[in-house]
Amino acid sequence: MGRLINYVIIIYMRFVAPILFVALLCLSCSNNTGSNPGDYRQFISKLPTIKIDHKLQLTESDLEAYSPMQVEFYDQEMALVLASEPWTILLIDEEGQVIDRIHNIGRGPGEYTQINQMHVGFNKSVYLFDARLRKILVYSVNEGQFSLEEERALQPYDSYSFSEFYNTPSGNIGLFKDLSQSQTREISEYFAFSLGADLQMEDSLFKVPGNELYTYQDLKVDKPFGYETEWDLEENTFYYSYSDRISVSARQLNQIDEIHKFVPEIPRPHKTDKRISFKLKRLEVENLPDIEKVIREGNYFPHFRDFVVGPSNYFFTLYEESPDHGTLLAIDRNSNEMRKIVVPSLFRIYDVSANKIFGIDHTDNANEVMIMTLAEAS
C-alpha cells in the first residue's frame, strides 16, 4: 500500500501538478487584463497613427494674454480662446490672428470677475458663466466682432449648486450639484435640469456620477487622480465617460434611459513609481501635502484625462509617463476602430471640428494654444 501511494505521488508531481499550475496561471492571466505593465505601452505603440497635416501653435505672447484655459471651435474660420491672466475671451481667425477680445473685468452690468465656463451654444451664441457674481453673459459674433446681447442672473436653487450651462436644440439646460449630499458621499453626482427663460429649474432630465471625493482638512474635495466623469454635448445628446476605464455612455435629453455605447478591450495602465513621480512633478500638485499618499493608496490609476466627442471619433487624452510625447486615442464612432495621434506630453484636448483638433500644450509650462489639422476627418 505504501509503495502504491509513493507511485501516485510521483505521477502527481511529474505530470498532474505542472498541468494544474499552467492552467491556473492561464486562468489568472485571463482574469487580469494588462497584468504585465508592458501590455499597456505595447498596446498603445501598436495602434495605427493618424497623421497631422498642419499644426498652428500660438504662444502667450502671440495672444497677448496668459494662462490659456480653454480653446473652442466657433466656425470654419474662427475659434475662441479663454485665458485667465487676465480673464479674457479671444476670437482668432484660421491664421491665429486675434481679431477681437472680451475684457470686461468688474462688477457692473456686462462685467465679470471670473469666467468659470465658456460655452458655444447650438445657436452660436457665446455664454460666459461667472459663479462669483452668479450670472451668465450672452454674446453674439457678427463679422468677427463680439456684441453683448444680454445678461442673465442665476436664480436661488435651494440645495443645488449651479455648475454648467448648455444651449441645445431643445432649449437651455443646467448641470447642478446637490450640496445637501456633498459631505456624505464618496462620489459626487450631477443633476441635469431644463431651464426656463429666467434660468429657473424646470424638468429633471437625468443624473450622472461626478468625481471621487476624499476628506481634506474636514472638507470633501475632488480626489486627485481619483475617479472622474468627463462629458461632452452634441446637440441633444449628452455623452460621458468614466476615467477608470475607456467607455462611452450617452443620454438623449428627451429620454430617461441611458444609452450604453461600448467598453473596448484596452489594457489597464499600472500605478508604477515612475508614472506617479512623473505626474506629481508635471502637474505641480505640491499644494496638497498628502497627495502622494492619496495616489498610492488609491484603487487604480486613471486611464485618461480628457474626453471629447468629434463628428467621426471619440477622443481620449491618455495618461502616460513619457516626458517626450503624449497620446490622443481616437475611437471610430461607427466601427470602434482604435487609432492614436502623437501629441506633446501634457497636451489637453478641448474641442474638435470636421478635421481639426483644438487644445493646449502645457508641457514645460509652455501654455501654447494648438490647432492641429488632421489628414482625415475627426
> What letter would DSSP give residue 298?
S
Rounded to the nearest 5°, which phi and psi values hold at 373?
Answer: -95, 120
**343 close to 63: Cβ distance less than 8 angstroms:** no
Mean pLDDT by 10 residues, the chain (378 residues): 43 44 38 50 90 96 95 95 96 96 96 97 97 97 96 94 95 90 77 95 90 76 77 92 86 75 74 65 55 65 86 89 83 92 93 96 91 89
Which residues have a Cβ under 8 Å from the Cβ of 53 and sit 6 or more positions away? Answer: 373, 374, 375
> What letter would DSSP give residue 378?
-
Cell 424646470, residue? 202
Using DSSP's 3-state secondary structure scheme, residue 16 falls into helix
Compute CA 371 distance to the chain's CA centroid, rounded to the nearest angstrom: 18
Where helices occur in 264-331 by DSSP H, the ranges are: 273-282, 291-297
Residue 28 has what pLDDT?
37
Spatial distance between the Cα atoms of 242 and 248, rounded to a whole number of angstroms: 8
| HSE, side-chain direction, 13 A CA sphere, residue 135 | 16
How many residues comprise the chain? 378
Spatial distance between the Cα atoms of 288 and 269, rounded to a whole number of angstroms: 24
What residues pair up with 146 in beta bridges, in sequence order? 141
Compute CA 117 distance to the chain's CA centroid, rounded to the nearest angstrom: 14
**231 close to 239: Cβ distance less than 8 angstroms:** yes
Residue 81 has what pLDDT?
98
Compute CA 68 distance to the chain's CA centroid, rounded to the nearest angstrom: 17
**302 close to 243: Cβ distance less than 8 angstroms:** yes
Spatial distance between the Cα atoms of 132 and 252, rounded to a whole number of angstroms: 31
Using DSSP's 3-state secondary structure scheme, residue 363 falls into helix
Strands 87-93 and 78-85: antiparallel
Using DSSP's 3-state secondary structure scheme, residue 90 falls into strand
Residue 151 has what pLDDT?
97
Compute CA 50 distance to the chain's CA centroid, rounded to the nearest angstrom: 20
| HSE, side-chain direction, 13 A CA sphere, residue 276 | 16
**79 close to 356: Cβ distance less than 8 angstroms:** no
**13 close to 6: Cβ distance less than 8 angstroms:** no
Cell 487624452, residue? 317
Spatial distance between the Cα atoms of 241 and 227, rounded to a whole number of angstroms: 11
**207 close to 175: Cβ distance less than 8 angstroms:** no
Question: Nearest CA to 229 among 129, 302, 160?
Answer: 302
**316 close to 306: Cβ distance less than 8 angstroms:** yes
Spatial distance between the Cα atoms of 308 and 357, rounded to a whole number of angstroms: 10
Spatial distance between the Cα atoms of 118 and 72, rounded to a whole number of angstroms: 9
